[in-house]
Amino acid sequence: MTRAIQARLETPRLEDYLEVIYHLIQDKGDASVVDIAERLGVKPPTVTSMVQKLAKGDYLLHEPYRGMRLTAKGEKVARSVISRHSIVEEFLAILGVAEGTAHQDAEGIEHYIHPVTIRKIERLVDFLSQNPSSLEAIRDYIDG
């Protein structure tokens, strides 16, 4: 279950945009300003401004009125955010945190967790999934 974790130089907001764009492209084949605005709960002009910033930073290629696609750099960041989110959410679920709460907490934590920390959490999740008796002991202790 090794997942590439990159050094974090991006802002949480930039990461949110890249993650949403990545998911939209995967789900629908494209990402429009309107779709991004809807998913993030912002106005289209705000999205347009961020899309321009992402294009300047070489995170995506954008042709107005024709669409956008992530560059290799943008896709790498998006996949990293998605991976961090998945690892944190899985860890919280293992601890017995309710699904909705685990998802919400992972949304915040994914942006601020250090690569070394996420790697250790990932290894712990792997260990616990391979050692159900240890996981049961931890859950008993936490819930006790």
Handedness of CA 140, 110, 46, 63 (dihedral sign): negative
Rounded CA-CA distance 118/110 in Å is 9
Q: Which of 120, 127, 125 is nearest to 102 (CA)?
A: 125
- In the chain, the percentage of residues whose pLDDT exceeds 70 is 94
Could you tell me if 43 and 31 are in contact, meaning their C-beta atoms sit under 8 angstroms apart?
A: no
Rounded CA-CA distance 51/18 in Å is 9
- Domain tally for the chain? 2
3-state SS assignment for residue 95: coil
Q: What is the pLDDT of residue 144?
A: 81
Q: What is the pLDDT of residue 66?
A: 78
1 assigned to some structural domain:
no
Tell me, yes or no, whether 65 and 94 share the same domain.
Answer: no
pTM of the model: 0.83
Q: Which of 127, 52, 33, 117 is nearest to 138 (CA)?
A: 127
Tell me, yes or no, whether 54 and 101 share the same domain.
Answer: no
Per-residue pLDDT of the chain (144 residues; tens, 9 = 90+): 444 444 445 789 999 999 999 999 999 999 999 999 999 999 999 999 999 999 999 999 998 777 899 999 999 999 999 999 999 999 999 999 999 999 999 998 998 999 999 999 999 999 999 999 999 999 999 988
Tell me, yes or no, whether 85 and 137 share the same domain.
Answer: yes
Q: What is the pLDDT of residue 64?
A: 77
Q: What is the pLDDT of residue 8?
A: 45
Q: What is the pLDDT of residue 9?
A: 52
Q: What is the DSSP letter of 63?
A: E
CATH number at residue 35: 1.10.10.10
Q: What is the pLDDT of residue 65?
A: 77
Domain residue limits at 30? 12-70
